[in-house]
Amino acid sequence: MKRLPRAALRPFVETVWALDETADAHTHSQRREHVVPTGGMHLVFRLSDDPLRLFDDEQDREGRTVSTMVVGGARARFYIRDLAKRLCSVGAVLRPGAAEVLFGVHADELSEAHTALEDLWGPSAVSLRDELTELSSPEERLDAFERILAGRLPVVRGLHPAVAHALQQFGAANTVRDVVRESGYSHRRFIALFSRAVGLTPKTYCRVLRFQHVLRRARTGGLGSLIDLAIASGYSDQPHFNREFHELTGVTPTEYRLAAPRATHHVVVHSR
């Protein structure tokens, strides 16, 4: 289940969610998932016993484990995770500015990586996971999770006005150059402010945003229209779009279509 967070969290948290597959008899043996970048950051408590397991590429047989409590930084490239074990978890999609408030670091220090939450919150992270594990329903876990997040918020905090304005303008497809000029800051200073809040540079963030826009529109209009949508969204030609598609997702447009992902940024693949 997924829902909007309580009002006090909304400046920093986009959505909260809870998942419990443990009662499902279906097994995901030998399955992996490509997670496509969205431009956002995630916080996840895995309440089942298995920590997050990642693979460097399709040939990686062993993988590496991170933790059962993970902060996923903003990314500009897909990553590959294990789907073999059934999962019980609770998590949040975080907004720009949340990293400094919740974790005490700038977002660009966490970008392109998965960080164990205990490295940021210390031993208290383990105690909080134990508290969540003892609860029996998704609703109870979400309520407790929101209390945990709210307890780490300062009394007064806000996103830098220049970054907040930029996020609105980028959503309206304005160019980085125009937004920087409107901010009144130098290009270098603006990039530093934006990267610290979001975790990606403005140019990279807009690149991911444009790609996600194409995927969302294709989901409602049919994947057969991907190329037309791509050209309309500013890609110069089909080879340009195909290169970007593979770099961001790890699969070709045809493979993506055949995978029929349940969400635009989760592409289940079979290990080779």
Domain segments of the chain as ranges: 2-151, 161-200, 203-270
Q: Please give the pLDDT value at position 102.
A: 94
C-alpha closest to that of 160 among 138, 192, 128, 133: 192
Locus of tokens 């500015």: 97
Q: Token pair for residue 111? A: 């970008």
C-alpha closest to that of 84 among 61, 104, 100: 61
93 forms beta bridges with: 15, 42
What is d(CA 263, CA 124) in angstroms, rounded to the nearest whole number? 33
Q: Token pair for residue 203? A: 């140019």
Q: Kindly state the helix (H) or strand (E) to which residue 43 belongs, with its residue range.
A: strand 41-46
Q: What is the pLDDT of residues 177-231, one digit of tens each?
A: 999 988 888 999 999 999 999 999 999 999 999 898 888 877 766 655 677 777 7
User: How many Å separate Cα 236 from the centre of its chain?
Assistant: 27
What is d(CA 173, CA 118) in angstroms, rounded to the nearest whole number? 38
What is d(CA 272, CA 269) in angstroms, rounded to the nearest whole number? 9
pTM, full prediction: 0.84
Range scoring the smallest mean pLDDT among 28-42, 92-106, 195-209, 223-237: 223-237
Distances, alpha carbon 119 to alpha carbons 68, 79, 88, 110, 116, in Å = 12, 21, 22, 11, 6
Query: Residue 157: pLDDT band by 50, 70, 90 thresholds?
Result: low
Q: Please give the pLDDT value at position 265.
A: 87
> Using a CB cutoff of 8 Å and minimum separation of 24, what contacts does 182-191 make?
190/162, 190/166
Question: Hey, CA dihedral for 86, 92, 93, 94, is it positive or negative?
Answer: negative
C-alpha closest to that of 97 among 163, 3, 43: 163
* Contact call for residues 133 and 87 (beta carbons, < 8 A): no
33 forms beta bridges with: 81, 268
54 forms beta bridges with: 64, 81
How confident is the model over 19-36, as a mean pLDDT?
A: 77
Type of residue at 252? T
Q: Kindly state the helix (H) or strand (E) to which residue 228 belongs, with its residue range.
A: helix 226-232
Nearest 5°: phi and psi at 192?
-65, -45
